[in-house]
Amino acid sequence: MDQLFIDSVQHSFGSKVVLSNVYLKCDVGEIVGVLGRNGSGKSTLLKIIFGAISPNHKHLKIDGQLVEKGFLTQQIAYLPQSFFIPPYIKLKVALALYTNFYRQQLLDLAIIKNQLNTKIAELSGGSRRFVEALLIIYSNAKFVLLDEPFSQLSPQLIEELKIHIKAMLPYKGFIVTDHYYQQIVDISSQIVLINHGCNYAINTNEDLILHGYLPNR
Amino acid sequence: MYQKFKTLYLHHFKLVFTLNFALSLYFANLFYLKGFDKVNLYNLAFGFKLLGYATTIAIEKLFFNRRIFYYYNLGISYRKILSIFFALEFSLFLFILLCCWLWISFS
């Protein structure tokens, strides 16, 4: 079936309802772009899918199987907004931990090959972000959640990252969220906007203006 | 999975393992000196071992926010990591006590 499906997501922080009846579907070979204003609940939605946050209600299925916590299935990998690999870990150790099937593809890359004995903390901020994103993209997980993968990256690295995402597309489904909305529009096969806790399918830039995501000029 | 756990414990649990292991050795020494027929010593040892595990949880909680996605992306929950750690550490404690008992019995 190769499908991730989440439905009826309801979550609130205290009395503030963040997500209400949100629905999302991602097939292998598909990139779902999630857009939304600051605080709209994009990251919360990804964390709920991953299993790091327990919502008030959700219905998550991977390949037709009901799942309680996504990460326990090892079918979902998540790139958080901030660095997640401890700084004292060497790149070769991180590579051994997170990759298996696609390790050789990473070992062929200069940024990995030349720095295998380098500690993560010794990489520059952009390189560290790029390497962490690569480790997640080339992990064994079938579904990859990327939370602001393009932030901290130079335009050149952004283009490179997009190439890697597309290279793994035949084997994986991606859910990507970022404030660089043009990058999301460029790579996504479907776009979803989270607004006032609900999700809306987006087909054109006019839809983004209509829902108040882009300014009306 | 075995390799993942091995790497995790070798990289992140050295401090808490040393603390718990030192406690185990201390009590093994007490058992060696006082003998294995003191019920209160067993109570004291298990009480302190529990305290050691509570301290381990407290120390790990300090790193929880920083390491949550590091562990979760490996498909491992904190509960599982700590449960296996405590099981291994307690088995080691029992093994050390057994060695002490055998040493006293046959020397």
User: In chain B, what percentage of residues exceed pLDDT 70?
Assistant: 100
B37 φ, ψ to 5°?
-105, 15
Q: DSSP states of B26-56 as a string?
A: HHHHHHHHH-S--HHHHHHHHHHHHHHHHHH
Residues of B in contact with A77 (CB under 8 A): 73
Residues of B in contact with A50 (CB under 8 A): 72
Alpha-carbon distance of A204 to A211, in angstroms, equals: 11
Best of A89, A97, A148 to substitute, by most chain B Cβ atoms within 10 angstroms, is A97
Nearest to A97 among B66, B68, B74 (CB): B74
Half-sphere exposure of A20 (CA within 13 A, CB side): 9
**pTM for the full model?**
0.87
- Could you tell me how many helices (H) and strands (E) chain B has, helices first? 4, 0
- Closest CA relative to residue A62, chosen from A140, A142, A135: A142
pLDDT single digits (tens) A165-195: 999 999 999 999 998 888 898 899 999 999 8
Cβ of A78 within 8 Å of Cβ of B72? The answer is: yes
pLDDT in tens, chain A (217 residues): 789 999 988 999 888 888 888 899 999 999 999 998 888 889 999 999 999 999 999 999 998 889 989 899 989 999 999 999 999 999 999 998 898 888 888 888 888 888 888 999 998 889 999 999 999 999 999 999 999 999 888 899 999 999 999 999 999 999 999 988 888 988 999 999 998 888 888 888 888 888 888 887 6
In terms of CA atoms, which chain B residue is nearest residue A50? B72
Domain boundaries along the sequence of chain B:
2-106
Cβ of B75 within 8 Å of Cβ of A74? The answer is: yes
Alpha-carbon distance of A90 to A98, in angstroms, equals: 13
Domain boundaries along the sequence of chain A:
3-81+142-210
Q: For residue A119, what is the DSSP state?
A: B
Kindly report the CATH number that applies to the domain delimited by A3-81+142-210.
Answer: 3.40.50.300
